[in-house]
Structure 1
C-alpha cells in the first residue's frame, strides 16, 4: 500500500468510506457473506474466490477502482483456470454491489466487465461408457465402488452426498438426502426406477447391504468406516482408465458426470429432474441436460400419434 493510500484511509477514510481500501471493504464483505443462509462449504468456496480479488486490488482505494482493473484480475485466471475466472467475476459483482448498498461507492466497477467465454473441456459420460466402467469395477475393485456407480446414477446426487448416505436415512419408503452443498432436502422414493439400468433405488440400497463390516453407511470401507471423498473420485478414474474409456479431445468424464447422465436418462422417462438434482432453477438443470455434442449428427425420429 502506498503512503498516499494509507494516509487517505487513515484520515478521510474515517468519515468517508470511499477513501478506504478494497481490502478494508473485504473484511466487512466477509461478514455479509457469513450472515447469508449458505452452507459452510459454499461460504469457504466464496472466501477462496474473494482472495483472488484481494490479491489484485486489496491496497487500492475502493472508489478509484476501474472496470479495466477488475478485468485484469479476471484475465490473469482465464487461461489456466477458466471456470474460476468466471466465479471471481461473479464474486466481484456481488462484492461491489454490497459496497454500493453500504454507501462506500456510487457505482459497481465490475458491472461492465464481460463474462469470459469458457470452452467446456470435460466430456460428458455416455451410458455405454458407464456400463464399461461398472463392469470393470465389479471385476477389479473393492465392492463399494460398483455400488457407488449404481447409486450415483440412480440417485443423481453429488459425490459428497453419496459418501454420507446411511441406512438410517431411509424411512417412510424414501431415501432422505440433505445435500451438503446447498442444504436442500430431497426425499427420493424407494420405488424410483431408472429404466436404463432396470433398477430401483430400493434395489440399489439393498445391494449395499451384503458387503463390508458394520452396516451404517451405504458406501464404506472393508471395516465399515466412511470413505474419504477423494477416494470416490480416484476409484472412478481408476475404473474409467481400466475400462479403456478415452476421449479424443478435452478432459475425460469425471465421477460428477454421473449426475449429468442421470439427469438425461431420467428426463427421458419424464421424471422431474430439477427436484431430483435439488436445483432451485430449471436453467441450472438444463445445463446438466446439455450432452455437449454427444447427440450431434444423430437422427431424430418424429413420433406420429
Structure 2
C-alpha cells in the first residue's frame, strides 16, 4: 500500500458535511487560518508560509454582504481571468488580495474613490514593489466591479505607481558564477541548482519541478508554470554530465536535505544561503564574497546575457527563456552589441595610433 505524504507541520484537514475537505493552519498561540487547495500545492504552500510568518490571510466574515469589497473579491475568484492563471500566480494574487480584503472587505465597492486608493498605496511607499503590486490588484478588482455594474468607473485610473529606483534582480556576472562554483564543487546540491538555472534559463518555479521525465533524446522539455509556454532546450554538455551522475531515487533533480521537493519560496531562501556561504578569510575573519542580492532569477538573466554575448538573436533567446515579449530580451542583445562595438572602437583607435 502506498504511504500518503504527511501534510506540513501544524496543518489539519477534515471533511465537512458537504463532503469537501478543508485544511487549516493550527499552531498553538496563533489564530486558525484556512488554507486553499491541497497540501504541497503552490497555492497551499504560499498561504502556509504566510501563516507561519504571522500574516493575516483569514477570509473576511462579511464576504456575502452585497456590493462589499469582500463580495467583490469572492466574485473575482470565479472569473475566467483569475481561473486561467497558473497556480503559482493565483497564490501570489491571493496573498495580496486577501490582505486587502481583511482591511477593507467591510466597505462598499461603489464608495471607493481615487483618494482612498492613493492613501492605501501611499502607506506602502517604503516598499515600492509591494505598493505597485497592490495597486494592480485593486485595479483588477475595480475593473471587475465595473463589469458587474457595481460602479461606473475605475478609481485606480490616475493613481501613479510608486517610483521604484531598483533595476530589478541583479544579473550574475561571470566572476560571480566562477566564485560560486569554486566554493560549491560539482556533486553538491548548490552546484546542481546553479547549473540547472544557468543552463536552462528557467524560473525557479520550473527548475524545482525538473526531473528525468522532462528529458528525452538529450532535450529538456517543460511547460512553464507561470505562462503555460512550452520550451524545448537541448542539454548543454556540462549539464548532461551533471544530470547523468545523479542517483535515480528521486523524481525531481533538486530536493531538500530531507529528500522532499522544494517549493519555489523555500528554494530561493535556501539558494540565498548558498550564496552567503561563499566566503573568504582575512585575518581570521570570514568575509562574504558575493553580493547578497544575487538570486535564482538573476541566473535566468545571466543566461540571457550569455546568449546575447554569443551572438544569439532575440528570437533565439526567447526560444530558450520562454519570454513572450521581444522588448524583454532585446535589451540583452542591445547591451551585448554595444559591448562588441566598444571593443571594435577601441581596437580601431589603438590601430590608428599605432
**TM-score, structure 2 normalization:** 0.66
Checking the alignment, whether the CA contact within 8 Å between 1:134 and 1:239 is kept in structure 2 is no
Match of 1:5 in 2: none
Greater alpha carbon shift after TM alignment, 174-183 vs 215-224: 215-224
Q: Which residue of 1 aligns with 2:51?
A: none
Q: Does structure 1 residue 57 correspond to structure 2 residue 57?
A: no
* Residue aligning to 1:210: 245
Q: Does 1:161 align with 2:206?
A: yes
Return closer, same or farther for 1:241/1:167 CA change in 2, 3 Å cut-off. same
The answer to whether 1:146 aligns with 2:191 is yes
Secondary structure, counterpart of 1:138 in structure 2: coil
Higher relative contact order (CA 8 A, sep 6+): 1
Matched-pair contact (CA < 8 Å) for 2:176–2:290: no
2:294 to 245, 253, 267: 253
Q: Show CA shifts across 1:205-257 (max 9, x none).
A: 3312224462643334688764455564344333322323344xxx5211221
1:126 matched to 2:167: no
Where does residue 182 of structure 1 map in the other structure?
A: 227
User: 2:76 is matched with which residue?
Assistant: 29
- The answer to whether the 8 Å contact 2:276/2:290 transfers is yes
Q: Which structure 1 segments of 5+ residues have no match?
A: 1-8, 14-19, 191-199
Distance in 2 (alpha carbons) for counterparts of 1:213 and 1:171: 15
> What is aligned with 1:99?
145
Q: Is the 8 A contact 1:160 1:180 kept in 2?
A: yes
How far apart in 1 are the matches of 2:256 and 2:103? Answer: 44
- Whether 1:76 aligns to 2:103 is no
**Contact map agreement 1:56 1:73 (CA 8 A) in 2:** no
Residue of structure 1 aligned with 2:254, choices 205, 216, 219:
219
Q: Kindly tell me: are residues 59 and 284 of structure 1, through their superposed partners in 2, closer, same or farther at Cα, counting changes over 3 Å?
A: farther
> Aligned partners of 2:334 and 2:116: how far apart in 1?
34
Aligned match for 1:170, one of 184, 197, 215: 215
Distance 1:72 1:33, change over 3 A: farther
Which of 306, 320, 335 pairs up with 1:276?
Answer: 320
Instruction: Report the secondary structure of 2:220's partner residue.
Output: strand
Uncovered stretches (5+) of structure 2, i.e. residues with no partner = 1-63, 279-287, 349-354
TM-score (norm: length of structure 1): 0.75
Shift of 1:265: 1.0
Give the aligned length.
269
The alpha carbon displacement at 1:50 in A equals 1.3
How much has 1:286 moved relative to structure 2?
5.4
Kindly indicate whether the alpha-carbon contact (under 8 Å) linking 2:89 and 2:226 is maintained by their aligned counterparts in 1. yes
1: distance between equivalents of 2:258 and 2:160? 51
Instruction: State which of 292, 296, 300 in structure 1 corresponds to 2:342.
Output: 300
Of the three residues 35, 41, 55, the one matched with 2:88 is 41
- Give 1:240's match in structure 2, choosing from 275, 300, 305: 275
> In 1, are the aligned partners of 2:221 and 2:230 still within 8 Å (CA)?
yes
Further displaced range: 226-235 or 98-107: 226-235
